[in-house]
Amino acid sequence: MTDQPHTHQPLTASATGRPVAESRPVPQDFVLGVATAAFQIEGARHEDGRTDSIWDTFSHTPGAVVNGDTGDVACEHYHRYAGDVALMKSLGMQSYRFSTSWARVCPDGGPVNAKGLDFYERLVDSLIESGIAPWLTLYHWDLPQALEDRGGWTSRETVDRFVDYALAVHDRLGDRVSTWTTLNEPFCSAFLGYTAGMHAPGRTSPADGLTAAHHLMLGHGRVVQELRARDAALELGLTLNFTVADPVDPSDPRDVDAARRVDAQMNRVFLDPIFRGEYPADLLEDVRHLGLEDHIMDGDLDVISTPIDVLGVNYYNGEAIGHEPPSAALDDSVNGGRVTRSPFPAADDAHRHPRGLPVTAMDWEIQPEGLTRLLARLQQDYAGPAGVALHVTENGAAFDDVPDEDGFVDDRGRTAYVRAHLGAVLDAVDAGVPVRGYFYWSLLDNFEWAWGYAKRFGIVRVDYDTQVRTPKASALDYARIIATRRLPTPWDGSAGSGDGDEPAGESTA
Ligand code: FCB
């Protein structure tokens, strides 16, 4: 894949007006790609038989999403997928991580809708024709609303419906897609959706979040078992999102305990059942009053710990955790006036403290070294002993992009972010952690959940009035990394370089 993208500027670091920096090799077998998710890009809300998911309902609820944005149209990817695949090919992408929409394939969570599968078949065929390896995620948060009406992920019945849906997708695409991940970020589905109230379906119950987490993992395990039984050659797994929780003061036991709770309720609550077949003892102790154990049936943990082949790692930032609130908090909460609470079911005394690092437009600190530490820990404690491959399935940054009159964005902050985080992954590889690939989040600017279209993560700008796609400087830089298999260092040697007090990602240069 050596096709060059259409560029406004040559694919050299000097396009930024700065000297070409030193570079390091990217291993030849390390896969570089981009990720998206169905609800965030497809639009076509009720076309060809699709019915509503919880995100349709939630986004149409006044006050739930910034500016009242919805996924009705999004990036019109349902109709523009061929152009989007051609764009990825022009950028040299090796793999594309996307999700299928449950409500398109099984409207209302019921019988299979052939037209919905037709779309994914067209997409997958066009990826394969373009030499781009499809990486399919079955569940990226868009539960059919009809199933939520019957209890959603707090109901065990949803697990059976998830298996039906997964098998329907496999019936159609099993001969063409070799990497299948069940869930994207069950932390967000369970705890942002059922405990924090910040995501669909918008519940605010610590107990419901835990029950949902258990059932999501049960659905994951069941689907892995069924797909494995059908085809032993498939590469199966799931994607989790992680934080790296450091105590503000490592010598203060209260800060250490707050950081432990965050690690338990975000990372280990999923890792331990999946890799070890048990919930962490300290977590069970902390949440004992919330009834999780009433929902764990005999055999569940055996199903959940069914061996997998691949762990997808989503990393955006780590955090310093203290037992008291900071004087000036990092604030990425969106509630539009809605009632929300902490996503952690039992960590009320855990607070995120700024460390003086540069932040993205999400107010997320830019901390690439956290990714190196995370990968090393995952390898040592979980993936390594289980013989499971690690891939970074999401990493990326939102900035307040400013396009020029041609729609081009000279997004230096994002370019530096990608270089720094890819470097952090290669640092882990150099230290002996066998990470196999990296997917930037996201190919396109898209519907950023409760933030609607207000936050842009794409390496490709989307003009939502015209649907015109324009690769940003970061896309051109990433394409050059893929084409040359060399990673330049961030030009001034630090993540978020050049940001200073200026909004990163913008440039008048
Ligand atoms: C992750 C989600 C993805 C996107 C990024 C910014 O949590 O998986 O859909 O919203 O965050």
pLDDT exceeds cutoff 50 at 82 = yes
Mark whether 394 is an active-site residue: yes
Q: Give the contacts of 165 (CB within 8 A, at least 6 positions apart).
A: 102, 105, 106, 109, 138
Catalytic residue among 185, 319, 448, 506: 185
Mark whether 185 is an active-site residue: yes
- Determine the distance separating the centroid of ligand 1 and the alpha carbon of 454, expressed in angstroms: 14
pLDDT digits (tens, 9 = 90+) for 474-498: 999 999 999 999 999 875 434 343 3
pLDDT at site 206 = 98
- Determine the distance separating the centroid of ligand 1 and the alpha carbon of 313, expressed in angstroms: 12
Of 11 and 100, the one with more pLDDT: 100
Percent of the chain predicted with pLDDT > 90: 89
pTM greater than the 0.85 cutoff: yes
Q: What is the DSSP string of 492-509?
A: TSSTTTT-TTSPTT----
- Determine the distance separating the centroid of ligand 1 and the alpha carbon of 251, expressed in angstroms: 34
- Determine the distance separating the centroid of ligand 1 and the alpha carbon of 151, expressed in angstroms: 24
Whether 38 lines ligand 1, by a CB cut-off of 6 Å, is no
Q: Tell me how far CA of residue 179 lies from CA of 128, 149, 170, 232, in angstroms.
A: 13, 31, 11, 12
Instruction: Please tell me the residue having the least CA distance from ligand 1 atom 4.
Output: 448
pLDDT digits (tens, 9 = 90+) for 357-374: 999 999 999 999 999 999
Torsion of Cα atoms, 499 then 504 then 508 then 509, to 10°: 50
Distance (Å, whole) CA 98 – CA 91: 17
SS3 of residue 97 by DSSP: strand
Whether 425 lines ligand 1, by a CB cut-off of 6 Å, is no
pLDDT digits (tens, 9 = 90+) for 397-418: 999 999 999 999 999 999 999 9
Q: Tell me how far CA of residue 160 lies from CA of 23, 45, 108, 193, in angstroms.
A: 50, 25, 14, 20
The tokens of 422 are what? 């890819």
Mutate to test the pocket of ligand 1, among 185, 266, 270 (most ligand atoms within 8 A of CB): 185
pLDDT exceeds cutoff 60 at 500 = no
Instruction: Please tell me the residue having the least CA distance from ligand 1 atom 5.
Output: 441
Q: Which of 106, 215, 102 is nearest to 152 (CA)?
A: 215
Whether 449 lines ligand 1, by a CB cut-off of 6 Å, is yes
Ligand 1: which atom is nearest the Cα of residue 396?
6
- Determine the distance separating the centroid of ligand 1 and the alpha carbon of 8, expressed in angstroms: 29
Instruction: Please tell me the residue having the least CA distance from ligand 1 atom 9.
Output: 37
Ligand 1: which atom is nearest the Cα of residue 40?
9
The per-residue pLDDT of the chain, averaged, comes to 93
Question: What is the mean pLDDT of the segment spanning 47-68?
Answer: 98
Question: What is the mean pLDDT of the segment spanning 235-252?
Answer: 98
pLDDT exceeds cutoff 70 at 5 = no
